[in-house]
């Protein structure tokens, strides 16, 4: 294999084929932001839309052509004059414009959709390329449903459109029907039957993912002469989508030992681009999606976590950083071992002694049986409640809150002072029942807290779900966490706040007695 690798042209069609898929439509500003990010990713061509399809599509292609200058911009057009004229109207502003025109060539499409003969389609294809060429040097022609087009006819259309001036010939597997070996052979035969295909033009492939083979088919095409791959971010596109850009690019990078081609993609921009798309459309990728899924760099099994902590090469074939993800995720759950737990505690600033770790691990496995994923807050609660054994100075007896959008919120709180076994009652108004509760507790315990984080999660389902409240409170510039669960969110809130109060009082008492000890020792 030669050391100089062929560079595959990455033709990104997220804004055209991708945008056509349900739930993925974007407005003009969103498309512009996406196009700018694709330029940062350094795709070679952005297919910005289908200008004849709607005024919105036209305006988006025009704006991208005008504003995103450092990348080639393509617009799609059927093989008819009105489409090509409109595409050029939008594309004329681009620094590097490309008209992409297409017509179906399979007998199924000719008979049922176009109701045209092979000769009529051939003539339309040639006329379309000639018209596009009169506007712009860079013309791409696609034989829609090439995957089901008869070999000789496909070669005839490809030959004629190259003669008419097409500089890229795209061979789509429109319905995602091909198998990798078959698709590779198809490309090889086409290059053999039409030698000018790779001499005068670039052979492109555009694979759909109906059988989950779009990326594999794209790789097979490149192994057999294709020089351009059409793909989308997160693999979005018609039906099951298009070949996923990130998967194709990372396969080229990771298996450079086997593949004699590469891409110019800045791979560190992959994850930011994927996130921009999901944040824009609200269409999330599956958790186990290759390269960009939530679990792509997550490890839960104890054996895997242990291996990862020794050397990430054990279970990762590419680094998360290479695709723009900050770091691998060691997910703490019931499959995790002590090594992973100790490591996470250490990251959180707690280097536990062996006996402490044993105790923490016991509490952790008990919790992991009830909860799927253990968060950092859970771990801190294990430390603060289970390992450090904080005594309860104040105990909750009962609360009463008033809230609503027509009344001033207020709360009454009754606490028991555990040192003297006396009940203390107080009340306070607040901006809402949560703030009223916190103020009432502050008045009783003699502290003044500021809640900096407040989260409610449901642990069980249904109307009587148990809600878990987690909050962070700052008392005198020191932050404490409080956590409690109850079927009543206000009850859980008051207990969580009191939990933080008890920790703060204990910490104060501890530091006072330490000071006394130091003075007593004459330091």
- Rounded Cα gap, residues 306 and 325, in angstroms: 21
For the CB of residue 203, give the shortest distance to ligand KIV in the complex, in Å: 14
- CB of 455 vs Zn ion, minimal distance in Å: 43
Q: Which two tokens stand for residue 330?
A: 């060691």
* Residue 3 phi, psi dihedral angles, 5° rounding: -75, -20
Does 75 interact with ligand KIV (rule: CB under 6 A)? no
Binders of ligand KIV: how many residues, by CB under 6 A? 9
Q: Strand pairing partners for 12?
A: 46, 231
Helix H or strand E segment including 38 = helix 28-41
- Name the binder of 232 from Zn ion, ligand KIV, none, CB < 5-8 A by kind: none
Helices 245-254 & 214-223, crossing angle to 10 degrees? Answer: 50
Look at residue 433 and give the partner it binds from Zn ion, ligand KIV, none, a contact being a CB closer than 5 to 8 Å depending on partner kind: none
174 binds ligand KIV (CB under 6 A): yes
What part of residues 479-498 is at the interface with ligand KIV (CB under 6 A)? none
d(CA 166, CA 129): 6
The smaller minimum CB distance to ligand KIV, of residues 174 and 234, is found at: 174
3-state secondary structure 329-344: EECCCCCCCHHHHHHH
The contact mask relative to ligand KIV for 89-108 (x = CB under 6 A, - = no) is: -------------x------
Return left, alpha or beta for 27; rule: phi > 0 is left, psi -120 to 50 is alpha, else beta.
beta
* Sequence-separated (6 or more) residues with CB below 8 Å from residue 352: 342, 345, 360, 387
Cβ partners under 8 Å of residue 73, min gap 6: 45, 46, 48, 61, 64, 65, 91, 94, 95, 96, 97, 98
Please choose, out of 88-96, 170-178, 264-272, 452-460, the segment that lies near ligand KIV by the rule CB under 6 A.
Answer: 170-178
* Cβ nearer to ligand KIV, comparing 172 with 225: 172
Pairing of strands 394-402, 409-417: antiparallel
Site membership for ligand KIV, residue 17 (CB under 6 A): yes
Residue 138 touches Zn ion, criterion: CB under 5 A: no
CB of 13 to ligand KIV, least distance (A): 7
CB nearer to Zn ion: give 14 or 273.
14
| Binding-site residue ranges for Mn(2+) | 17, 206, 208, 242
- Secondary structure (DSSP) of 355-404: HHHHHHHHHHHHHHHH-SS--HHHHHHIIIIIIS----SEEEEEEEEE--
Query: Cα(278)–Cα(490) distance, rounded to whole angstroms?
Result: 35
- Partner whose binding site includes residue 235, from ligand KIV, Zn ion, none (CB under 5 to 8 Å by kind): none
Q: Which stretch binds Zn ion (CB under 5 A): 16-24, 102-110, 116-124, 444-452?
A: 16-24
DSSP 163: H
491 binds Zn ion (CB under 5 A): no
Task: Determine, following the binding rule CB under 6 A, whether residue 12 of this chain makes contact with ligand KIV.
Answer: no
- Rounded least distance, CB 466 to ligand KIV, Å: 50
> Could you count the other beta carbons within 10 Å of the beta carbon of residue 153?
17
Minimum gap (Å) between residue 72 Cβ and Zn ion: 18
Half-sphere exposure of 208 (CA within 13 A, CB side): 19
Length of the chain: 523
Nearer to ligand KIV, 113 or 425 (CB): 113
State the binding partner of 102 from Zn ion, ligand KIV, none, CB within 5 to 8 A by kind.
ligand KIV
CB of 291 to ligand KIV, least distance (A): 22
Among residues 369, 286, 362, which one has the least CA distance to residue 333?
A: 369
Please say which residue, 235 or 430, places its beta carbon nearer to ligand KIV.
235
Alpha helix positions (H), 42-117: 55-67, 81-91, 107-109
Q: By CB under 6 A, which span of 1-9, 166-174, 395-403, 440-448 interacts with ligand KIV?
A: 166-174
**Residue 327 Cβ, how far from Zn ion at the closest point, in Å?**
35
Residues in region 391-450 near ligand KIV by CB under 6 A = none
C-beta closer to Zn ion: residue 57 or 442: 57
Strands 261-262 and 6-7: parallel
Per CB under 5 A, the list member of 9, 11, 12, 17 interacting with Zn ion is 17
Strands (E), 235-276: 261-262
- Site for ligand KIV (CB under 6 A): which residue of 101, 142, 218, 305? 142
Near Zn ion by CB under 5 A, which window of 13-21, 96-104, 254-262, 508-516?
13-21
Binding-site members are 17, 206, 208, 242
Count of C-beta atoms within a 10 Å radius of residue 481: 20
Q: Is 242 exposed, middle or buried (0-12, 13-18, 19+ CB in 10 A)?
A: buried
Site for Zn ion contains 442 (CB under 5 A)? no
For the CB of residue 17, give the shortest distance to ligand KIV in the complex, in Å. 5
Interacting residues with Zn ion (CB under 5 A): 17
Interacting residues with ligand KIV (CB under 6 A): 17, 102, 142, 144, 170, 172, 174, 206, 208
């Amino acid at each position: 294999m030669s050391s100089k690798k062929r560079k595959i042209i990455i033709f990104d069609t997220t804004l055209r084929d991708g945008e056509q898929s349900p739930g993925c439509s974007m407005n003009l500003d969103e498309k512009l932001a996406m196009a700018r990010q694709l330029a940062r990713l350094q795709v070679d061509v952005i297919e910005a839309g289908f200008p004849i399809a709607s005024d919105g599509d036209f305006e988006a292609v025009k704006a991208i052509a005008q504003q995103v200058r450092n990348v080639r911009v393509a617009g799609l057009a059927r093989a008819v004059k009105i489409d090509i004229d409109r595409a050029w109207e939008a594309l004329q502003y681009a620094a590097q414009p490309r008209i992409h025109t297409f017509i179906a060539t399979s007998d199924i499409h000719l008979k049922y959709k176009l109701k045209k003969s092979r000769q009529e389609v051939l003539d339309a294809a040639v006329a379309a390329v000639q018209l596009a060429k009169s506007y712009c040097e860079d013309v791409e022609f696609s034989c829609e449903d090439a995957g089901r087009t008869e070999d000789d006819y496909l070669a005839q259309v490809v030959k004629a459109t190259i003669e008419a001036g097409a500089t890229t010939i795209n061979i789509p597997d429109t319905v995602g029907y091909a198998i990798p070996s078959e698709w590779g052979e198809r490309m090889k035969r086409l290059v053999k039957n039409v030698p000018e295909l790779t001499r005068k033009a670039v052979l492109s492939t555009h694979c759909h993912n109906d059988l989950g083979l779009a990326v594999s088919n794209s790789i097979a095409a490149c192994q057999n002469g294709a020089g351009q791959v059409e793909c989308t971010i997160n693999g979005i596109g018609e039906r099951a989508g298009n070949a996923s850009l990130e998967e194709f690019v990372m396969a080229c990078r990771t298996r450079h030992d086997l593949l004699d081609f590469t891409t110019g993609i800045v791979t560190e921009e992959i994850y930011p681009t994927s996130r921009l798309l999901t944040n824009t459309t609200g269409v999330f990728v599956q958790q186990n999606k290759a390269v960009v899924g939530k679990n792509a760099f997550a490890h839960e099994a104890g054996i895997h976590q242990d291996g990862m902590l020794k050397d990430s090469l054990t279970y990762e074939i590419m680094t998360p950083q290479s695709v723009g993800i900050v770091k691998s995720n060691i997910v703490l759950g019931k499959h995790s071992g002590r090594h992973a737990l100790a490591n996470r505690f250490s990251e959180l600033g707690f280097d536990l002694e062996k006996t402490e770790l044993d105790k923490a691990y016991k509490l952790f496995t008990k919790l992991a049986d009830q909860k799927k994923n253990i968060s950092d807050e859970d771990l801190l609660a294990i430390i603060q409640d289970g390992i450090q054994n904080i005594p309860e100075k104040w105990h909750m007896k009962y609360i009463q809150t008033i809230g609503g959008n027509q009344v001033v919120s207020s709360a009454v709180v009754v606490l028991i002072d555990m040192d003297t076994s006396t009940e203390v009652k107080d009340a306070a108004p607040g901006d809402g029942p949560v703030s009223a509760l916190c103020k009432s507790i502050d008045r009783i315990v003699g502290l003044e807290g500021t809640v900096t984080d407040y989260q409610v999660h449901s642990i069980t389902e249904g109307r009587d779900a148990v809600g878990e409240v987690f909050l962070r409170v700052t008392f005198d510039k020191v932050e404490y966490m409080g956590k409690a669960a109850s079927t009543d969110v206000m009850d859980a809130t008051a207990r969580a706040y009191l939990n933080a109060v008890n920790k703060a009082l204990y910490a104060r008492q501890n530091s006072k007695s330490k000071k006394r000890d130091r003075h007593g020792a004459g330091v």
